Amino acid sequence: MKYISLLLLLLLVLLSSCDRYEHNFKAPVVLNFNEVVFSPLQDAFNQSNAADLSMVMDFYADDYLHFGTNKADWELQLRTMISGVPNPVFEVIHSSSMQQNEITAIANWQLKISDPDSKRVIADSTFVGERLVKVSGKWLLKGNQMVCEPPAGKQLVIAEYFTYRTCQNCPPAEAKLKELYLQYPGNFTYLEHHTSGGLEIAGDNTHIYYAAYSPPVSVFNGMDKVTQSTAASLAQYQSLVDSYVQIDTPIRYQIHSTPTVNGRTMTGAVKLTPLIELDQNDMVLNYVIYEEESHLSNITTPNIPLRHVVRAKGITSLAGVNLNNPINISLTSTVDLPEDIKLVVFAQKKPTTFQNNATIYGGLELPLFRKGVK
């Protein structure tokens, strides 16, 4: 009994001595990333527009990479999506996240952008496996850090439309093109070439190549030429675009050097990745600057401004060009360029004689920004 009592006394002493040390049996802190990242990101989107996305981009790490898209490319894509939308509505939806350690985490979230005026959805993107990193006390988005890209989507369908300001039969054709542009955002655009009347581009012979001498004339994807603006012609506009927008893009277009405007000169670089076998003989790369909304109008509809008016155009032969390398694009306009301008870049088969065979291989459309202006 004496030895048992001594053992009990020793155990009590050991237990009481252990209590002199502090213990931390608390579970590790799990952050609420909706409060820390995604709710503030929503606020940043709500205070941003196409001219200034700085608050949004502050949530992105400098080494952001998502399926080959870096931080600068993503900012340009956002600008493109909301350009021309007066009051875009943003919705940031955080679905789940997992903190890996004190400075890294993984999250799944969704970004929706819509135009309340036209009731159309501009973008609905889901980001799965988005990496987060804590830098200088702030959590930043890093993308999925994957270089490979997801499957390409549908092609951009391009209509080259020929008109002039005194064309009395042209307004219905332009109204239909505008309707299609709103119907297929991101998958259809049109280029309004004026053949006379002061808005024509000096030295541009696009209308001569297509023999578009009696406007209105529209050429869809370089293959289907439609004349007049009768009900039958406009129905053909609809059916052609309905068909072409279903085709997968044959070439992936990527911005390599963001196109910018300095005075009358535009410079940049693009990367073309063919997704089909291409014969580059007789192929060209077109790059066209158009004005979104002109202060001028057709004389028969004086209260309706002209839209998508081509203000400058450049062309580069792709024959023998190594498409593994970026292609520099540069043009100088013969006129002062307005503020609301966009660039359309597209590869095209350009046989010497047009016989409904000048195939356009998708394209890229994006707003242009002036050097020194964010």
pLDDT digits (tens, 9 = 90+) for 33-80: 999 999 999 999 999 998 899 999 999 999 999 877 899 989 988 988
- Whether residue 5 lies inside any domain: the answer is no
Q: Are residue 84 and residue 110 in the same domain, yes or no?
A: yes
Q: Are residue 314 and residue 241 in the same domain, yes or no?
A: yes
Rounded to an integer, what distance in angstroms lies between the CA atom of residue 2 and that of residue 15?
20
Q: Which of 95, 114, 143 is the last residue of a domain?
A: 143
Q: Are residue 227 and residue 134 in the same domain, yes or no?
A: no
- Whether residue 11 lies inside any domain: the answer is no
pTM score, whole prediction: 0.66
Q: Are residue 84 and residue 133 in the same domain, yes or no?
A: yes
Q: What pLDDT does residue 157 have?
A: 97
Rounded to an integer, what distance in angstroms lies between the CA atom of residue 213 and that of residue 195?
8
- Whether residue 92 lies inside any domain: the answer is yes
- Whether residue 6 lies inside any domain: the answer is no
Q: What is the CATH number of the domain that holds 67?
A: 3.10.450.50
Rounded to an integer, what distance in angstroms lies between the CA atom of residue 312 and that of residue 194?
11
Closest to 159 (Cα-Cα) out of 237, 99, 215 = 237
Q: Which of 98, 126, 143 is the last residue of a domain?
A: 143
* Number of domains forming the structure of the chain: 2
Q: What pLDDT does residue 9 have?
A: 40
- Whether residue 8 lies inside any domain: the answer is no
Q: Are residue 138 and residue 155 in the same domain, yes or no?
A: no
Q: What is the CATH number of the domain that holds 244?
A: 3.40.30.10
Q: Are residue 170 and residue 313 in the same domain, yes or no?
A: yes
Walk along the chain (374 residues) and give the pLDDT tens digit of each residue: 444 444 334 333 333 444 443 444 344 456 899 999 999 999 999 999 988 999 999 999 999 998 778 999 899 889 888 888 888 999 999 988 888 899 999 988 999 998 888 877 788 788 878 999 999 999 999 998 876 655 678 999 999 999 999 999 999 999 999 999 999 988 999 999 999 999 999 999 999 999 999 999 999 999 999 999 999 999 999 999 999 999 999 999 988 877 889 999 999 899 999 999 999 999 999 999 999 999 999 999 999 999 999 999 999 999 999 998 999 999 999 999 998 899 999 999 999 999 999 999 999 998 887 654 44
Phi, psi of 289 (to 5 degrees): -105, 125
Q: What pLDDT does residue 374 have?
A: 42
Rounded to an integer, what distance in angstroms lies between the CA atom of residue 143 and that of residue 106?
10
Q: What pLDDT does residue 26 have?
A: 41
Rounded to an integer, what distance in angstroms lies between the CA atom of residue 263 and that of residue 169?
35
Rounded to an integer, what distance in angstroms lies between the CA atom of residue 115 and that of residue 269?
30
Residue 307 belongs to domain spanning: 151-374
Q: What pLDDT does residue 90 have?
A: 95
Q: Which of 143, 165, 184 is the last residue of a domain?
A: 143
Q: Are residue 131 and residue 172 in the same domain, yes or no?
A: no
- Whether residue 69 lies inside any domain: the answer is yes
- Whether residue 248 lies inside any domain: the answer is yes
- Whether residue 25 lies inside any domain: the answer is no
Q: Are residue 98 and residue 134 in the same domain, yes or no?
A: yes
Q: What pLDDT does residue 257 have?
A: 78
